[in-house]
Structure 1
Amino acid sequence: MRINWNYIKMIGLVVLIMGLYAFSNHRNDKKKVNGIKIEFVGDQNLYVTPAMVNKLLIQKYGPLVNVPKENLVLNTMEKVIEANEMVKNAQVYLTMNGELISKILQKKPIGRIEGPTKYYLDDEGNRMPLSSNYSARVPIITGNITGKCLEDVYVILDYINKDDFLRKNVIGIHIENEENYQLRFRMENFVVNLGNVKDLEEKFNNFKAFYAKAAKDKTLQEYNIVSLEFDNQVVCTKI
């Protein structure tokens, strides 16, 4: 019987490669963590700090430097970091040289609730605690704060944040009730009665048209109430 040496060589090569791969993986698993690095992506305002993240991991796992890589469960570590109320998402991985990297995306506040309990409303409409490290410059929410009203406030804030003019100028929302929300502006003395959250685009377009004309005429200071509650019109009350 003729021996097919090419076939035997191929099998030997495959076995050798598999052996080297298994050996490499075994050696890699035996390596230890030689450093930890915390990186924040997106907004650089640090509501949670690298020291706070390190503390979370140490409380759960103890010191991680010199821990064998095979002892780490990375997706579990991600969940530990994401348990922090200021963290939106975490990605944990090991580099080839043994450095443990944690990339963290923080929650983004879009409004600050000033009621019996103080907290932020984030960009997904969820509660976010205040931070002792950084205070966000976002509109202040006051008044009759209820669950339904906060849902409406989130809709208003979401619209405001997509509009350059409104985002730069609206500094507060006061909740009268579910049918009337008042806006306060940075440079003006008047309040804007928005009404409910229906037809926001039409209401704000009407308001911006009024604002542009009044600014041109230099009459903005003559008003104390600007109402957008009525269909397709702006009703103003002078001082």
Structure 2
Amino acid sequence: MRINWDYIKLAFLSVAVVALYGFADQRNQKRMVDNVSVKFVGDNNLYLTEDAVNKLLIQNYGPLKNTPKEQLVLNTIEEVILSNDMVKNAQVYLTVNGELVSKIVQRKPIGRIEGVSKFYLDDKGERMPLSKHHSARVPIITGKITGKSLEDAYVILDYINKDDFLRKNVIGIHIEDEGKYQLKFRMENFVVNLGGVDNLNKKFSNFMAFYAKAAKDNSLEEYTAVSLEFNNQVVCTKI
């Protein structure tokens, strides 16, 4: 009987590959975590610090360095990090060098509420606690804080953040009542009576046309109030 050496070689090679893979996998599982690192993605303003993340992990898992890699459940570590109110998203993974990396995206505040309770509104319109590590430079919201007025304030803030001029210049929103909102600008003495959140695009287009003309005429300092409450009009009050 003729022996087919090609089949024998192929079978031997397959067994060798499986054995090597199993050996490598077993060796990899026995490896320890060599280092633990935290990386923040995006905004450089740290409302949550690396030390705070490490402390959170230690409280739940103890020191992770020198922990056998097979003992780690990465999904549960991500869930622990996401439990922090400052975290928007988290990704945890192990590198081939045995480093446990936590990549974190922080929540982004767009307004700060100054009322009986003090907190931020984030870019999703959700409440976000103040941070002891960093204070965000965002418009201050004052006045009659209610659930509905906060919803409206978020609509205004969201619009402001999409416009470069408004984002740089609006420093405050005062809630006189539900449906009556007043804006404060950084460099101007006048306030802007916005009214409600209806037709914001038209209201701000009218305001920008007024502002450009008044700036050209050097007359901005002559006004104490600018009202956008009336349809397609800008009504100004002079000193």
Q: How many residues align?
A: 239
- The equivalent of 2:159 in structure 1 is 159
Q: Distance in 2 between matches of 1:144 and 1:9?
A: 82
Tell me which residue corresponds to 1:137. 137
What CA distance in whole angstroms lies between the structure 1 residues aligned with 2:11 and 2:145?
72
Cα distance in structure 1, aligned partners of 2:7 and 2:193: 84
- Structure 1 segments of 4+ aligned residues over 4 angstroms from their partners: none
- State the shift of 1:236 in Å: 0.7
Deviation track 1:158-208 (CA, whole Å, cap 9, x = no partner) reads: 110110110010000011122111000001111101111111111101000
Deviations 1:3-47 (Å, cap 9, x if unpaired)? 333223222222221221111111111000111111111001111
Equivalent residue, structure 1, for 2:123:
123
- Distance (Å, rounded) in 1 between the aligned partners of 2:200 and 2:114: 24
CA displacement, residues 99-129 of structure 1 (integer Å, 9 cap, x when unaligned): 1111111001100000111011111111111
SS for the counterpart of 2:48 is: coil
- Is structure 2 residue 29 aligned with structure 1 residue 29? yes
Q: Unaligned stretches of 5+ in structure 2? A: none
Which letter maps to 2:52? M
- Normalised by the length of structure 1, the TM-score is 0.97
Please state if 1:178 is matched with 2:178: yes
Q: Secondary structure at the match of 2:91?
A: strand
User: What CA distance in whole angstroms lies between the structure 1 residues aligned with 2:216 and 2:170?
Assistant: 20
2-structure distance, mates of 1:31, 1:125: 44
Question: Match of 1:76, as an amino acid?
Answer: T
> How large is the RMSD of aligned CA atoms in angstroms?
1.0
Q: Deviations over 1:53-83 (max 9, x none)?
A: 0000000000111100000001110110010
Q: CA deviation at 1:219?
A: 1.1
1:1-239 equivalent positions in 2, closer than 5 A: 1-239=1-239
Taking the aligned partners of 1:148 and 1:12, their CA distance within structure 2 comes to 73
Supply the AA of the counterpart residue of 2:58.
I
Return the alpha-carbon distance in structure 2 between the equivalents of residues 117 and 18 of structure 1. Answer: 62
TM-score between the two structures when normalised by the length of structure 2: 0.97
Please identify, of 68-77 and 171-180, the stretch whose mean Cα deviation from structure 2 is larger: 171-180
**For 1:72 and 1:222, how far apart are their aligned partners in 2?**
66
Counterpart Cα distance in 2 of 1:146 and 1:2: 90
CA gap of 1:16–1:234, structure 2 versus 1, over 3 A, is: same
AA aligned opposite 2:145: I
Provide the rounded CA distance (Å) in 1 between the counterparts of 2:122 and 2:176: 22
In structure 2, how many angstroms separate the alpha carbons of the residues matched to 1:29 and 1:215?
68
Tell me, in whole angstroms, the C-alpha distance in 2 between the residues paired with 1:63 and 1:213. Answer: 63
Alpha-carbon contact 2:141-2:175 (below 8 Å) kept: yes
Query: Residues 85-110 of structure 1: CA distance to partner in whole angstroms, max 9, x if unpaired?
Result: 00111111111111111111100110
Q: Tell me the distance in 1 between the aligned counterparts of 2:5 and 2:226.
A: 92
Cα shift at 1:151: 1.1
User: Following TM superposition, by how much is the alpha carbon of 1:238 offset from its aligned partner in structure 2, in angstroms?
Assistant: 1.2
Q: Any gaps of 5 or more consecutive residues in structure 1?
A: none
Does structure 1 conserve the Cα–Cα contact (< 8 Å) formed by 2:173 and 2:184?
Answer: yes
User: Do the aligned residues in 1 keep the contact of 2:149 with 2:179 (CA within 8 Å)?
Assistant: no
Q: Aligned equivalents of 2:73 and 2:194: distance in 1?
A: 51
**Within 2, Cα distance between the matches of 1:194 and 1:14?**
75
Q: What percent identity do the matched residue pairs reach?
A: 72
